[in-house]
Amino acid sequence: MADIAFKNPELLWLALILIPMVAYYVFLQRKSRVEFRYSNVASSKGAEATIKSKLIHLPFILRMLAVTLLIVVLARPQSSSSWQDVTTEGIDIVMAIDISGSMQAEDFKPNRLEAAKKVAKTFIGNRPNDRLGLVVFAGESFTQCPLTTDHSVILNLFADVKSGMLEDGTAIGMGLATSVKRLKDSEALSKVVILLTDGDNNSGSIAPVTAAEIAKEFGVRVYTIGVGTRGLAPMPFTDPFGRTVYQDVEVKINEELLTSIANMTDGKYFRATDNASLEEVYKEIDELERSKIDVTEYRNRKEEFLPFAIAALLLLACEVLLKQTILRSIV
């Protein structure tokens, strides 16, 4: 038998309306009771009750049942007993994003960090069947969101990501190691880290190559992204008077290191020099990570209100029919 669940179970509380309806009906019955006085009731002894007297309360009972069924209809009963075979991605992905001070450079619009967050959010929206997590790093690393299938959670946590959350610096090794830690016990078909940075490793207690070796040991593939234009990039600074001024700083990305990390883990290195190229990088990664597995899952829930609605209408029709025929009254 199909399992029935309600889309709006809170509406079942409307059934409480039956209590005042019954009370009002009883009140009307007592109010309309007529008494006759006879000097001799011997002639009425042994008289049998008529069909009409036996069914006098049936219309009201039918109405109560109809109201109950209509309340069930409003609560939207749904079945989820059928199954279907579908194909889906079995991938766990951790995005490791550099939030060091240099990510405020405005060679990307509005800056590197905000551009990276925007593109990453679009990437998440394109991966509805994957578990995703978020790691941020600067001079140290931190898990902003563990692996989850509730993408609304990770999207909300993205809004809180900003430079200054952690001690400044660029600990690429720490960021990668924290990401691998989140994936090492995963049983997913594919385990991936997308590591985005705009500089060179200059802090942290774990060397990037060591972190890459750990990733390789646990079967984690690493895609590395170097963000920053080639040459100089405008960097905002606050002068002694509290004003924001800009200074061109040299973009220093250790592409050799990022390429090495990607190659060691069977991943790939990408260079993004503007917003458009960063979007293309994530699109390519999205296409590369489309491993498929066959799973069995429930079909979408099926609405089951129709039988209840038909039954309610039939009961109301029976009530009207009885009142117009054998239970018709003279006013």
Residues 280-331 have pLDDT tens digits of 999 999 988 875 545 455 456 678 888 888 988 998 888 888 778 776 665 4
Please check whether residues 127 and 60 belong to one and the same domain: no
Position 36 in a domain: no
The pLDDT-based confidence of 212 (bands split at 50, 70, 90) is very high
| CATH, residue 255 | 3.40.50.410
Please check whether residues 205 and 73 belong to one and the same domain: no
Average pLDDT of the residues of the chain: 85
Angle at CA of residue 303, ends 300 and 304, nearest 5° = 135
pLDDT at residue 36 tops 90: no
Position 243 in a domain: yes
Q: Does residue 197 or residue 7 have the better pLDDT?
A: 197
Of the chain, the percentage scoring pLDDT greater than 70 comes to 84
The pLDDT-based confidence of 1 (bands split at 50, 70, 90) is very low
Q: What is the pLDDT of residues 61-72, one digit of tens each?
A: 888 898 898 998
pLDDT at residue 225 tops 90: yes
Domain that holds residue 318: 4-31+49-82+299-324
pLDDT at residue 258 tops 90: yes
Is this prediction's pTM over 0.75? Answer: no
Please check whether residues 152 and 9 belong to one and the same domain: no
Please check whether residues 208 and 244 belong to one and the same domain: yes
In the prediction, which pLDDT does 316 show? 86
Handedness of CA 146, 150, 153, 158 (dihedral sign): positive
Position 74 in a domain: yes
pLDDT at residue 107 tops 70: yes
Best-predicted range by mean pLDDT (16-30, 62-76, 141-155): 141-155
Instruction: Taking residues 73-93, report their average pLDDT.
Output: 70
Lowest mean pLDDT among 3-7, 196-200, 220-224: 3-7
Position 41 in a domain: no
Please check whether residues 239 and 200 belong to one and the same domain: yes
Please check whether residues 257 and 276 belong to one and the same domain: yes
The pLDDT-based confidence of 240 (bands split at 50, 70, 90) is confident
Q: Does residue 7 or residue 88 have the better pLDDT?
A: 7
Position 37 in a domain: no
* Contacts by residues 152-161 (CB-CB < 8 Å, ≥ 24 positions apart): 154/124, 155/121, 155/124, 158/117, 158/120, 158/121, 158/134, 161/97, 161/99, 161/113, 161/117, 161/134, 161/136
Q: What is the pLDDT of residues 40-53, one digit of tens each?
A: 555 555 555 566 66
Q: Which amino acid, residue 248?
A: D
In the prediction, which pLDDT does 307 show? 87
Cis peptide before 9 (omega within 30 of 0): no
Q: What is the pLDDT of residues 149-158, one digit of tens each?
A: 899 999 999 9
Position 330 in a domain: no
Please check whether residues 235 and 307 belong to one and the same domain: no
In the prediction, which pLDDT does 219 show? 94
pLDDT at residue 85 tops 80: no
Total domains in the fold of the chain: 2
Q: What is the pLDDT of residues 181-210, one digit of tens each?
A: 999 998 888 899 999 999 899 999 999 999
Please check whether residues 114 and 253 belong to one and the same domain: yes
In the prediction, which pLDDT does 89 show? 52
Please check whether residues 290 and 319 belong to one and the same domain: no
Instruction: Taking residues 130-141, report their average pLDDT.
Output: 95
The pLDDT-based confidence of 9 (bands split at 50, 70, 90) is confident
Between the CA of residue 65 and those of 36, 62, 71, 82, 101, what are the distances in Å? 34, 5, 10, 29, 68
**Can you read off the two tokens belonging to residue 149?**
């299938």
Backbone angles phi, psi at 30, to 5 degrees: -70, -35
Instruction: Taking residues 123-139, report their average pLDDT.
Output: 93
Position 39 in a domain: no
Residues 6 or more apart whose CB falls under 8 angstroms from that of 291 comprise 89, 90, 91, 189, 190
Please check whether residues 226 and 242 belong to one and the same domain: yes
In the prediction, which pLDDT does 46 show? 53
Between the CA of residue 290 and those of 91, 189, 265, 297, what are the distances in Å? 8, 11, 18, 19
Please check whether residues 283 and 220 belong to one and the same domain: yes
Please check whether residues 57 and 91 belong to one and the same domain: no
In the prediction, which pLDDT does 144 show? 95
The pLDDT-based confidence of 229 (bands split at 50, 70, 90) is very high
Instruction: Taking residues 94-121, report their average pLDDT.
Output: 95
Q: What is the CA radius of gyration of the chain?
A: 35
